[in-house]
Amino acid sequence: MSADAQKKASGEAAALLVEPGMVVGLGTGSTAAWFVKALAARKLDVRGVPTSEATASLARELGIPLATLDDVMSIDLTVDGADEIGPGLSLIKGGGAALLREKLVWEASKRCVVIADAAKHVKVLGKFPLPIEVVRFGHPHTGRRLADIAAEFDLPPPRLRMADRGIVVTDGGNVIYDMASGAITEPAALASALKAVTGVVDHGLFLDLADEALVGTDEGVVKLLP
C-alpha cells in the first residue's frame, strides 16, 4: 500500500471518531486533509477549528462550518498529522510550518488523535529536522542562540527554512529554523531549552499531548496508545 493510501486510511478511521455536535480541531498537512475530506463526507453537524489557512480553505470548500480558537471554550477532538511519532507518542510536527496554531489547538483539546502513514512511526525522534518557530524581528540573533543550544546537545546549527520565493513565513508571520539532529535522545530537555530562548515562539516537539495514534499500515489501521 502506498504512503498516501495509508494516510487516507488513517484519516478515514479518525473521521469515524467524530460525533454530531462536536467542535473538532482540524490539523494541517496531507494526512489531515484526508481526515477533513472524510469528515465533510459524513455531513455531521460539527464545527471545525482549523490549524492553518490552508486547512481553513479546504474545510470551507468542503462545506464544514468553521470557528476560530477565540470563538470556542474548548475543542472536543483534534485530529492532526505528524512528521514523526516516537516513544510514548512523542511527536515532531511542523513540517508544514503550522506548528504554533497546531499546538494551540491541541492544548485546547479534550482529546488529540494523531494520524499518519507507517513510515512516520520511529524508535527515536530526530531523523526529521525539528522545526522551531521564531519571531521575525532579529531572527538571525535568535538563530545564533539556537545554534548554541544545538551545540550543547551535540547537534549541528539549525537552518532558516527557505522556499523558492524566499524565507518561509508562517501564518503567524514568523520564520522557521529547522534543527537537524539524527536522534533526539533527550526531547524534554531540548524542548525546555528551546522554549527558554527569547524569540522562540514554539517548537515542533509535541510531548505528552497525543492521546492516541491511528497509523495506516499494510495490515490496516493500527491504534497506538502512549
Ligand X SMILES: O=C(CO)[C@H](O)[C@H](O)COP(=O)(O)O
Give the residues lining the site for ligand X (CB under 6 A): 27-32, 80-83, 93-99, 102
Is 29 labeled as ligand-binding?
yes
Considering the complex, what minimum distance in angstroms separates the CB of residue 151 from ligand X?
A: 26
Residues 102, 107, 152, 219: which is the catalytic one?
A: 102
Q: Is 81 annotated as a binding residue?
A: yes
For ligand X, the closer CB: 34 or 193? 34
Rounded CA-CA distance 191/205 in Å is: 7
* Conformational region of residue 169, where left means phi above 0, alpha means psi within -120 to 50, and beta covers everything else: beta
Rounded to the nearest 10 degrees, how much is the dihedral formed by the CA atoms of 216, 182, 153, 130?
-50
For the range 59-62, what are the long-range contacts, defined as Cβ-Cβ under 8 Å and sequence gap of 24 or more? 59/26, 62/36, 62/37
- Residue bearing cell 482540524: 26
Distance of CA 154 to the CA centre of its chain: 25
Residue with smaller CB distance to ligand X, 30 or 217: 30
Smallest gap from Cβ 177 to ligand X, in A, equals 14
- The least CB distance from residue 83 to ligand X, in Å, is 5
Asked if residue 81 lies in contact with residue 51, where contact means CB atoms within 8 angstroms, the answer is no
Residue 12 is a catalytic residue = no
The verdict on whether residue 164 carries a ligand-binding annotation is no
- Choice between 95 and 199, CB closer to ligand X: 95
Binding-site entries for substrate: 28-31, 80-83, 93-96, 120
Q: Which residues are annotated as a binding site?
A: 28-31, 80-83, 93-96, 120
Q: Which residues are catalytic?
A: 102
